Amino acid sequence: MNEINRSFTPAVISSNRRILVTGGSGFIGSHLCERLLDAGHEVLCVDNFFTGARANVAHLLDHRNFELMRHDVTMPLYVEVDEIYNLACPASPIHYQRDPTQTIKTSVHGAINMLGLAKRLNAKILQSSTSEVYGDPQVHPQPESYWGNVNPIGPRACYDEGKRCAETLFFAYRMQHDLPIKVMRIFNTYGPRMHPNDGRVVSNFIIQALTNQPITLFGDGEQTRSFCYVDDLVEGMIRLMDRTPDSVTGPVNIGNPGEFTIRALAETVLELTGSRSALVRRPLPVDDPRQRRPDISLAKSLLNWEPTIELREGLAKTIAYFDAFLASAQAEVYAAH
């Protein structure tokens, strides 16, 4: 991986905005809420708690500028805000495949409802899309101009095609109503507050290592992913939302271009935890991408953004979080999910 420039100045966010974050008690959403509050904004966090958890925002509940609302975005929402970050949707295969119809509704109906709210308020709105719109890519690394290679009827389609349709809706509202939109394609992200039971590779490996369980490698472990620490991701998200002119709509890839095999990730986790867990192989899931790496040229040129946190540094922080988590009562709460 090339050396990363750590000299950029974090995005400066103008104050006095009331901001809606859907999916705000989830992994990424909770970090975004925290960052927006630190910048002096009022934050309305909306979540139906399907994968999010109150524990993720418990430290924010007494903040004078924070409000938490239980609501499902598949139903209309009538609030007054200046900006909307639409993060609501389960993002791991275990969760989005549990109820594929509801996953599609969350992406599509949720987008329609949030776009309708933004249109009524003439509010800027950002869609958290995903690298899954590229499917199992035949172009590597993946630029925003690549249209993808997605199986529309496979087990991952409820998420992949739901997010693709949401992007279409956002640009339709842009063309038809001149709505100020932003579309961000999120690549693999990790860090504290990941759901421990969501089946994602980073949280899986860390928990298995810390509990001395066998570490499961799907396939031969030579498939690749690129891992972005959550603080870097949130910085990119805010930069895209605040980028002027508003004609900069995206889509923009936000992720870490450092590419690692899944086997290398497992070996790094074993080293950092000191675990003696064995590596065991399992069959590769259907339609699981063999390669995933973002081309972040647009993010660099339009947002002056690139990640600053190397994988080993981010993993150390994430391991420390899960080590404390497993020793706490929160583990029992998540075990019920």
List active site positions: 159
User: How far apart are alpha carbons 11 and 47 in whole angstroms?
Assistant: 26
- Angle, vertex CA 337, rays to CA 279 and CA 284, nearest 5: 35
Q: 71: exposed, middle or buried (C-beta count within 10 Å: 0-12, 13-18, 19+)?
A: middle
User: How far apart are alpha carbons 57 and 59 in whole angstroms?
Assistant: 5
62-67: long-range contacts, CB 8 A cutoff, minimum separation 24:
63/37, 65/37, 65/40, 65/41, 66/33, 66/37, 66/42, 67/42, 67/43
Q: Which helix (H) or strand (E) holds 299?
A: helix 297-303
**Within 82-122, where are the H helices?**
93-96, 100-121
Q: What six digits make up the tokens of 257?
A: 């271009």
Alpha carbon distances (Å) from 49 to 22, 33, 208: 11, 15, 25
**Within 43-156, where are the H helices?**
93-96, 100-121
Omega of the bond leading into 283 within 30 degrees of 0 (cis) = no
